[in-house]
Amino acid sequence: MFATPELVRETTDERTDTMDDAMRAGAVWERVRRRLRAELGEDVFSSWFKSIEIDHVDGSAIRLSVPTRFLKSWIENHYKDRILARWEEEAGRAVQIEMTVRSATLRQVIRPKPAEDARAPVASAGRPQAPAMATTGHEALGGSPLDPRLTFDSFVQGRSNTLARAAALQVAQSRITDPVLFNPLYIHAGVGLGKTHLLQAVSGAAQAAGRRVLYLTAEKFTFGFVAALKNQTAIAFKEALRSIDLLVIDDLQFLQGKQTQAEFCHTLNALIDAGRQVVVAGDRPPSDLENLDERVRSRLAGGLTVEIGALDENLRFDILKQKLAQHPGFEVPAAVMTYVARNVTQNGRDLDGAFNRLLATNRLTSQPVTIEMAERSIRDLVRVAEPRRVKIEDIQKIVAQHYNVSRSDILSARRTATVVRPRQIAMYLAKTMTLRSLPEIGRRFGGRDHTTVLHAVRKIDGLIGQDQALNEEVEMLKRRLND
Ligand code: ADP
Ligand code: MG
């Protein structure tokens, strides 16, 4: 891995030295990685450092490579000093770090300089031309309105959206003259996980920075194109489309019709080739957009694709907290926040709904918010996750099944690792998904003491805060139990 072409010409001794150096460097790098992981947490580590490889070392310099320009610039801007410091500590001497991009899968498109950039102002049929895209373009092209509340400030960062948010932020903050790092940026996620929020945040921020932005849903794109064809303004429509700096398309899965898709494909190509940024969101990865033209699919897949995962309980809590902060004077006890975050599990829309109902009930009745009130007013939203309904037996059964142990193993006194962890997870789920008390849960788990249950709950709680894979596993078990 550290071999360089020069190596071939070296004598055996020199080669052995070089290999030793390389191996030492490899070991140092492993230690540096381990420390970064410990310092920054699994979350941050896997977002930014997992894909870094060490490509070359000589006495005073190391070369690290990453798969994308985006990662390169992010790491250079945010983490290079930290890597350097750790390297110095581990290796006992200072080095220089050079970062490179491993492959050319991401096109680096350099924007034309604004001066030589022949952008025709948007020509919309019979309308005087206004200087700013913000109004003309949006109108001519049927752009969707931006919700001023959907900003980066109000977008809460959690483990499931770190990468998507960072990529979106990077797009929003790049200036017209900056090179485009990844194009298109494709964000996918299930319903209510924040795609539209993020897309609108990008659009709003870029627009505020003076870039010509068009945000529209794929449906509107389809509709606009069909309408333009009917009115025979298709050429103006296409030109208008292609004269913007940033095209943002939401809900791509709704892009319909062969001709619309072909037009979308042209637009995508034209914009990307001209170095304009395109951001797209859809409800699934490009490869799963069955109805989409193959060329569009591969073009989308050629940029940066990031997924937003399910909102975990911490993120749900933080989103609620963020909403609360927007309503000064409205008081919700922490226990109620926890109750809502724990039980409204589906997506951000249900969280919105739950929050709005608490607010409305409070305003309309002047009653303080209590758990009881919350239970009553959001009953239908927690229906699927009704805590009373999940039975401890079912938890034991499903957890046992998942970890390939028997239910009696879980209830037994056995203390082998293969049984202990599933047992702790089952206890954790029993505590968080039912209203049973610790002693009661202890009894149901083979007559254990309540402190054993408490220990298990704390243990798993702590672990899922650090271990993304375990966190997903537990979320998956919860979903199965809620089905
Ligand atoms: P999608 O477009 O993926 O279906 P939305 O962006 O419409 O989802 O999100 C649904 C609701 O949840 C919105 O009110 C949004 O503001 C909120 N939401 C989702 N994720 C976050 C987040 N990370 N921070 C703050 N609000 C969020
Ligand atoms: Mg949406």
Residues with CB under 6 A from ligand 1: 150, 154-156, 161, 189, 191-197, 319, 322, 348-349, 352
What single-letter DSSP state applies at residue 244? -
For residue 161 the two structure tokens come to 């959206």
Give the rounded distance of the alpha carbon of 247 from its chain centre.
20
Supply the residue whose CA is at minimum distance from atom 21 of ligand 1. Answer: 194
Q: Are 22 and 59 in contact (CB under 8 A)?
A: no
- Report d(CA 429, CA 452) in Å as an integer: 14
How is 133-152 classified by DSSP, letter by letter?
HHHHHHHHHTPPPP-TT-SS
For residue 477 the two structure tokens come to 């078990």
For residue 242 the two structure tokens come to 């292609």
Supply the residue whose CA is at minimum distance from atom 19 of ligand 1. Answer: 194
Q: With a cut of 50, which residues of the chain have pLDDT below it? A: 1-13, 15-16, 104-136, 385-388
Q: Give the pLDDT score at 130.
A: 33
Q: Give the pLDDT score at 139.
A: 56
Question: What is the pTM for the complete model shown?
Answer: 0.57
Q: Give the pLDDT score at 184.
A: 94
- Report d(CA 189, CA 50) in Å as an integer: 22
Q: Give the pLDDT score at 138.
A: 55
Q: Give the pLDDT score at 6.
A: 38
146, 188, 197: which to mutate for ligand 1, most atoms within 8 A of CB?
197
**Ligand 1, atom nearest to 191 Cα:** 4
Q: Other C-beta atoms within 10 Å of 303: how many?
A: 26
**Ligand 1: distance of its center to the CA of 80 in Å?**
32
**Ligand 2: distance of its center to the CA of 406 in Å?**
42
**Ligand 1: distance of its center to the CA of 28 in Å?**
42
Q: Give the pLDDT score at 132.
A: 37
- Report d(CA 470, CA 483) in Å as an integer: 20
Strand-pairing partners, residue 307, are 188
